Amino acid sequence: MTAKTIQTDRIPQELRPALQAIAAAGARLAQIIRRGGDLAAPVGTNADGDGQKALDVIADDLFRQALTGTGVRWLASEEQQEAVALAPEGRLAVAIDPLDGSSNIDTNVSIGTIFSIYPAEATAEASFLRPARQQIAAGYIIYGPRCAMMVSFGDGVQHYALDPDSGGFRLVAARQDLPECAFEFAINASNYRHWPKPIRAYIDDCLAGCDGPRERNFNMRWIASLVAETHRILIRGGVFLYPSDTRKGYERGRLRMLYECAPIAFLIEQAGGGATDGCTAILDQGAGTLHQRTPFVFGSAEKVARIAAYHELPETEISALFGNRGLFRA
């Protein structure tokens, strides 16, 4: 990889080859997306039984090839059942969702790539099935009207943007902080009837607007692309909720701990926000399997803490919230 794929002066030396590879593959994938074609064609299912589209497979191949020879020993991908061994002498382990939001490919809505980096251990299990706070880097690339990369090495969040002329990512902001005050929440409201009572109570209080206990009017957003939701929240604040629910297969949420929630939680905390499973910080947990799922709540720290407080109430008090009273005053 050439040095121009991303500015390297703020990237730790030992991570530069891997980050240059990710940036180069991301720039190439952005070109493929802009060119179009039948990228949303179904091609089968991935390791966890979700439908795969043509662009999912293209992205998986791109990042695996790019990361070969960059000091990465283990690569765990959403599209592969098991972790792949790239180099026995490698010192890094990369977990990646090569293409997040693939349901949006054919509608030209923002999609992305999410990645996480750990120190490599002797086995893939030891490398990835560990506390999420042991990440040494995490980030995402968003393929939108402007292709951008957010990345953290444990000292704040850096914001890069793809220069279409040079094909490289240039630094936009050395420190991207999450705005504290935004009256927006992101959730798929069509699943309201399946949610746990604390989530329903929180959303009810938001929807009550100025006449409710929050005494504020809120806007709802839902893009169905974790990267796009994260990028909006990092830029202008708010909160995202993907709770567990009563449907079969959703009892522990739908987002994967290792290569979706853990890296996003790392970024959000580094930007000054919070990220939990509704109650417990994501970074205080770890994946028990490569494709383990978890409920996920992240965004402005105050809002994430408020949602956790709803979960801490006794059942009798939660039930009372479905009357005319709410839980908190603004």
Q: Rounded CA gap, 74 and 124, in Å?
A: 6
* Per annotation, catalytic residue among 50, 106, 121, 204: 50
The yes-or-no answer on residue 56 being catalytic is: yes
* Per annotation, catalytic residue among 60, 184, 260, 269: 260
The yes-or-no answer on residue 79 being catalytic is: yes
DSSP 227-296: HHHHHHHHHH--EEEE---SSTT-BTBSEEIIIIIHHHHHHHHHTT-EEESSSSBGGG-B-SSTT-EE-E
* Per annotation, catalytic residue among 97, 205, 245, 269: 97
* Per annotation, catalytic residue among 60, 78, 269, 277: 78
Under 8 Å between Cβ of 43 and 57:
yes
**Quick one: 195 exposed, middle or buried, by C-beta within 10 A (0-12, 13-18, 19+)?**
buried
If we measure between CA atoms, which residue out of 89, 165, 130 comes closest to residue 258?
130
Q: Rounded CA gap, 302 and 229, in Å?
A: 18
The yes-or-no answer on residue 260 being catalytic is: yes
The yes-or-no answer on residue 97 being catalytic is: yes
The yes-or-no answer on residue 99 being catalytic is: yes
* Per annotation, catalytic residue among 79, 184, 205, 229: 79
Under 8 Å between Cβ of 243 and 295:
yes
* Per annotation, catalytic residue among 56, 60, 205, 277: 56
Cα separations (Å) of 8 from 15, 20, 108, 162? Answer: 9, 8, 31, 14
Q: Rounded CA gap, 197 and 144, in Å?
A: 35
* Per annotation, catalytic residue among 15, 39, 75, 99: 99
| 116 token code pair | 């996480």
If we measure between CA atoms, which residue out of 24, 12, 33, 34 comes closest to residue 168?
24
* Per annotation, catalytic residue among 60, 75, 92, 100: 100
E-strand spans in the chain?
42-45, 51-53, 72-77, 84-85, 92-100, 111-119, 137-143, 147-152, 157-163, 168-173, 184-186, 219-221, 239-242, 255-256, 274-276, 293-294, 296-299
Active site residues: 50, 56, 78-79, 97, 99-100, 260
